[in-house]
């Protein structure tokens, strides 16, 4: 038998998260900050993808980054080298970011000064999907080393994605990546998502992602 108290507590926490997420969203809208929540399994190359994005768009718009990790601030340090404001949230074991963590982290960023806020979520394909952070756009990364059936195994995450980025194309052949079947799985689970195929390491495919980003930001603001 299930324990109803557990259910009530979870609903209360989720409800509170949604309230704070709504407040975050209002703040970002008011200050015209375009926000994105970037999610993937650990090791899909989120930080490398974001570092290159930040470097290559540096002259177009100013950005801030919030980085969630279970431990260490290595990723935030790495992203700061792109010349942007970066705030690390070390979750101390928590496997996802929630709206309150983001609200606290944004206090350390000058939102008036930035056009884009990137939130790198904790590497995890399960619970980040259930926590609205107040973002405008959800980006899910899938690297070619992970197998073509990832979207089928983690449908919840792919179903909330506005963008799916297939990363590490430079090693696709070496790992026997089945491109057609991966794309078919993404399109089946996430027909709403715009798909980009890139190598954040070599830069291949990144330009269409930047064009899309610029277009979205112009549309919104
Ligand atoms: Mg990272
Ligand atoms: Zn979690």
Residue 1 has pLDDT above 80, yes or no: no
Distances (CA, A) of 158 to 38, 46, 108: 12, 16, 30
Helices H, strands E: what count in the chain?
8, 7
Residue 2 has pLDDT above 80, yes or no: no
Strand (E) positions, the chain? 34-39, 63-69, 85-90, 116-120, 137-143, 163-167, 194-197
pLDDT per position as a tens digit, 141-172: 999 999 899 999 999 999 999 999 999 999 99
pLDDT per position as a tens digit, 98-114: 999 999 999 999 999 99
- For residues 11 and 93, give the distance between their C-alpha atoms in angstroms, rounded to a whole number: 21
Ligand nearest to the CA of 65: 1
Q: What is the 69 CA–ligand 1 centroid distance (Å)?
A: 7
- For residues 74 and 218, give the distance between their C-alpha atoms in angstroms, rounded to a whole number: 32
Strands 63-69 and 163-167 turn out to be unpaired
Ligand nearest to the CA of 75: 1
- Residue 116 and residue 106 in contact, taking contact as beta carbons nearer than 8 Å: no
Q: What is the 45 CA–ligand 1 centroid distance (Å)?
A: 7
All residues with CB under 5 Å from ion ligand 2: 95-96, 127
The DSSP output letter for 25 is H
Q: How many CB atoms lie within 10 A of CB 6?
A: 9
pLDDT per position as a tens digit, 60-98: 889 999 999 888 888 888 888 888 889 999 888 889 999
pLDDT per position as a tens digit, 20-40: 999 999 999 999 999 999 999
Q: What is the 127 CA–ligand 2 centroid distance (Å)?
A: 5
- For residues 123 and 88, give the distance between their C-alpha atoms in angstroms, rounded to a whole number: 14
């Amino acid at each position: 038998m299930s324990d109803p108290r557990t259910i009530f507590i979870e609903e209360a926490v989720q409800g509170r998260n949604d309230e704070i997420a709504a407040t975050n969203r209002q703040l970002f809208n008011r200050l015209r900050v375009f926000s994105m929540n970037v999610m993937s399994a650990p090791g899909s190359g989120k930080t490398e993808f974001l570092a290159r994005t930040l470097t290559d768009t540096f002259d177009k718009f100013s950005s801030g980054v919030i980085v969630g990790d279970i431990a260490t601030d290595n990723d935030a340090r790495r992203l700061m080298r792109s010349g942007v404001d970066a705030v690390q949230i070390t979750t101390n074991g928590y496997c996802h970011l929630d709206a309150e963590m983001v609200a606290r982290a944004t206090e350390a960023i000058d939102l008036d000064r930035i056009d884009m806020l990137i939130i790198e979520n904790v590497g995890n394909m399960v619970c980040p999907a259930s926590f609205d952070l107040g973002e405008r756009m959800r980006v899910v990364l899938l690297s070619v080393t992970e197998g073509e059936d990832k979207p089928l195994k983690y449908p919840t995450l792919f179903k909330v994605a506005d963008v799916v980025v297939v990363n590490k194309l430079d090693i696709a052949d070496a790992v026997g990546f089945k491109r057609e079947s991966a794309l078919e799985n993404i399109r089946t689970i996430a027909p709403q998502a715009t798909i980009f195929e890139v190598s954040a390491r070599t830069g291949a495919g990144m330009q269409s992602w930047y064009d899309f980003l610029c277009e979205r930001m112009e549309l919104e603001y």
